[in-house]
Amino acid sequence: MYQLLSDQLLEEGDALPNHCSEEGKIIYQLNDIYKLMSPKFERCTGISQSRLELLHKLFDVDEISQTQLQKEVCIDGAAVTRHLKQLEAQGMVSRRKNPADNRFTFVRLTKEGREKIDSFKREKEQFISRVLDGFSEAEMKNLSDSLSRIQDNVNKINY
């Protein structure tokens, strides 16, 4: 009974596991923050972080192959295809096959997509401001440095 309740609390993000080491708690907190932030970010900005990243990359180029876009944003190819189909349905991007080789698809931001990016940027800045409310510049720098070290360590793990 206690284990079931404990597991339920962990799933809901309401409690830290008290049997974890300090290192384990850090990893748990990072995961919990991610799970809490992703849906809140999307509700605040109206778009997922992954889709916003794709739009930002497209904003910087006139046109790019879908394969190259996928490599630059480091998102799974199937996920990129799914995101682009939905963005295309919303009128934010357009895709066309390479006339010389139908295996390749080119992607570009539409006029509507370019206009929406400014709105998304403002919403993203407001969200970030709320997340980091109360942090000093020094605290943000220290946090960023620590998270970069964790990110580097994770990148070194070969599984």
pLDDT digits (tens, 9 = 90+) for 66-93: 999 999 998 998 999 999 999 999 999 9
- Are the beta carbons of 147 and 139 closer than 8 angstroms? no
Do 31 and 67 sit in the same domain of this protein? no
Do 24 and 90 sit in the same domain of this protein? no
Do 15 and 62 sit in the same domain of this protein? no
Low-confidence ranges of the chain (pLDDT < 50): 1-10, 12
Distance CA 100, CA 112 (A): 28
Give the global pTM: 0.69
The owner of tokens 């962990």 is: 10
Distance CA 157, CA 154 (A): 5
Question: What's residue 135's pLDDT?
Answer: 97
Question: What's residue 33's pLDDT?
Answer: 94
Do 1 and 54 sit in the same domain of this protein? no
Question: What's residue 9's pLDDT?
Answer: 42
- Are the beta carbons of 73 and 54 closer than 8 angstroms? yes
Question: What's residue 4's pLDDT?
Answer: 37
**CA dihedral of residues 119, 129, 61, 90 (deg, nearest 10):** -40
Q: What percent of the chain has pLDDT over 70?
A: 89
Do 70 and 110 sit in the same domain of this protein? yes
CB atoms within 10 A of CB 83: 20
Domain with 53, as residue range(s), is 48-156
Q: What is the CATH number of the domain that holds 132?
A: 1.10.10.10
In the chain, how many domains are there?
2
